[in-house]
Structure 1
């Protein structure tokens, strides 16, 4: 299926690396004008060289997220599609519950849930005014079951993001806006996920792969393809759904 986004404006958060960068490039290759958003301006530099507009911000802050979205709208005139790929584990590793500090807990929620909420809030008025729009969140298999990372806040935040996705789908659907989520399985997409994979060791790596029907880990491009479908006209009557892209989970 060839999906064209010619004439569309797509904003992608978490675009500096990994899954977010792959999503941004997929839309650009399909004809869209792309606004890349991330806290890491240097990491987004290659996307700028490819013609995307760059907007650096801490998206976990409502004020900063609103300013970044306003900057993207200023650069392109509107936003037709929002993809909230910002998130991750913020450098944390799995630890016993007794060791979790308040700041560690909130840092993961700000990156994974707050950022999606504030960016969706910022794009909603324009989408409502036009009577159309697409919002795609990037949740995780950790939003549907316990997390392989062992990080309590990460599993909790991704479950919360799934809830936010479904609630926004209900609220915004009457205005012609669909809201869906892609839930990746284990994807080697950045230094953090590569570090996690190495930390598993050979035996656990073998166990993880044996639990995947296709017997391989994911690639960022696998996720980008699913996002493009949900953002396309072909998915016009799909909303409030979570699409697991995990190679098949045993």
Structure 2
């Protein structure tokens, strides 16, 4: 099967990945929701037109290479890569173990790096250009859970570096930095009381007075993946209702 426009969304089993996939399905012939949890990705794909599920562990080089090779053989191209897959870790430095740190970096930083490296082979051979959108976090500006925030700051550096390297291929590389989105991911490692305090803190720091939604993030990704964003690269688009701004004195 050959397609005119193929989009890949990692972390496709989650709510945010599914929302991004649904948004991209309006302009792509094929949307591949890729995740270690392939059953979860399949459940999400069943709800989206032109979406398919694919197993992918972004922290495993063999899995990434096999995935990109399969996409190349089946569709002949990749037009959009959305690096959304992520894991988090304990918030305090004292409770952070090296193996946890390495896992966060492997998924959150190496994963996008490896997928882009593999996809670059297709971009070089097809000459079609493409779009990369990396999901970072508003916390890269403010700090927070040390491993997670360090990894998301690394994604910003990766975005800027790849924007330079991929520009001759006609590939733009940008990042979307959401503030808090109420998904199961944001509850990870928090008790109900901790999560309630977390919500209250983020609501208080958001000038627009509400949380981001998956659709808010998906809309920003869709714009950066669109033809209208063809001369935008190396940018970080904050989708957080003004929470990226310094508070008033």
CA RMSD of aligned residues (A): 1.9
Alpha-carbon offset, residue 71 of structure 1: 1.9
Residue of structure 2 aligned with 1:127, choices 123, 126, 136: 123
Is 1:186 aligned with 2:183? no
Is the partner of 1:83 in helix, strand or coil? strand
Q: Which runs of structure 2 are paired with 1:77-226 in the superposition (5 Å)?
A: 77-89=76-88, 92-95=89-92, 97-129=93-125, 130-147=127-144, 151-189=145-183, 191-194=184-187, 196=190, 198-200=192-194, 202=196, 205-226=199-220
Taking structure 2 as the reference length, the TM-score comes to 0.89
**Equivalent residues of 2:72, 2:122 under 8 A apart:** no
Query: How many aligned positions are there?
Result: 238
Matched residues in 2 for 1:30 and 1:175: separation?
22
**Equivalent residues of 1:35, 1:52 under 8 A apart:** yes
Alpha-carbon offset, residue 142 of structure 1: 2.0
Alpha-carbon offset, residue 200 of structure 1: 3.2
Q: 1:44 corresponds to which residue?
A: 41
Matched residues in 1 for 2:139 and 2:191: separation?
15
**Equivalent residues of 1:12, 1:36 under 8 A apart:** yes
Matched residues in 2 for 1:204 and 1:134: separation?
33
Matched residues in 2 for 1:63 and 1:192: separation?
26
Q: 2:18 corresponds to which residue?
A: 21
Alpha-carbon offset, residue 85 of structure 1: 0.4
Q: Deviations over 1:133-180 (max 9, x none)?
A: 111100111222202xxx211011111111011000011112211000
Alpha-carbon offset, residue 31 of structure 1: 4.1
Alpha-carbon offset, residue 52 of structure 1: 2.1
Matched residues in 2 for 1:226 and 1:204: separation?
24
Change (3 A) 1:71 1:54: farther
Q: 1:71 corresponds to which residue?
A: 70
Is the partner of 1:29 in helix, strand or coil? coil
Q: Which runs of structure 2 are paired with 1:53-68 in the superposition (5 Å)?
A: 53-68=52-67
Change (3 A) 1:84 1:201: closer
Alpha-carbon offset, residue 117 of structure 1: 0.5
Question: 5+ unaligned residues in a row in structure 1: which ranges?
Answer: 1-5
Matched residues in 2 for 1:176 and 1:15: separation?
26
Matched residues in 2 for 1:9 and 1:38: separation?
17
Taking structure 1 as the reference length, the TM-score comes to 0.88
Question: 5+ unaligned residues in a row in structure 2: which ranges?
Answer: none
Matched residues in 2 for 1:174 and 1:220: separation?
32
